[in-house]
């Protein structure tokens, strides 16, 4: 997959303009389908979104047909938050005050 990423000349411009804090890349449709292990027979819609951990494992993936404009931001935020918080100890419950 490494060889098909970032062949688009617009990627450096995108990175300079938006300064994302995460890696940005682009692949051909077939390259993305193969990388995400999607069936080439089933019709999928762009964008293809993959949440990849530090070991390079796809932890969650979505295609455009799974997201609506109304829920996209909320859904992506919830997925990212759940992955970031994975493995963290649960928050301690707050002590209850006795009412007098």
**Is residue 71, in this structure, part of any structural domain at all?**
yes
Does 1 score more than 70 pLDDT?
Answer: no
Backbone φ, ψ for residue 77 (5° rounding): -65, -45
pTM confidence score? 0.61
- Structurally, the chain folds into a number of domains equal to 2
Side-chain-side CA neighbours of residue 76 (13 Å): 15
54 shares a domain with 28: no
Lowest mean pLDDT among 9-13, 47-51, 96-100: 96-100
1 shares a domain with 19: yes
Q: Which domain does 77 fall in, by range?
A: 42-83
Structure tokens given for 38: 């999607």
**Is residue 2, in this structure, part of any structural domain at all?**
yes
**Is residue 9, in this structure, part of any structural domain at all?**
yes
Structure tokens given for 82: 């759940």
Beta bridge partners of 56: none
Structure tokens given for 14: 């995108």
């Amino acid at each position: 997959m490494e060889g098909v990423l970032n062949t688009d000349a617009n990627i450096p411009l995108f990175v300079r303009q938006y300064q994302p804090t995460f890696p940005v890349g682009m692949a051909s449709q077939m390259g993305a389908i193969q990388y995400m292990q999607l069936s080439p027979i089933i019709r999928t819609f762009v964008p293809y979104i993959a949440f990849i951990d530090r070991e390079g494992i796809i932890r969650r993936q979505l295609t455009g047909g799974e997201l609506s404009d109304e829920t996209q931001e909320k859904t992506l935020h919830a997925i990212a938050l759940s992955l970031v918080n994975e493995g963290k100890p649960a928050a301690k419950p707050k002590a209850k005050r006795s009412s007098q």
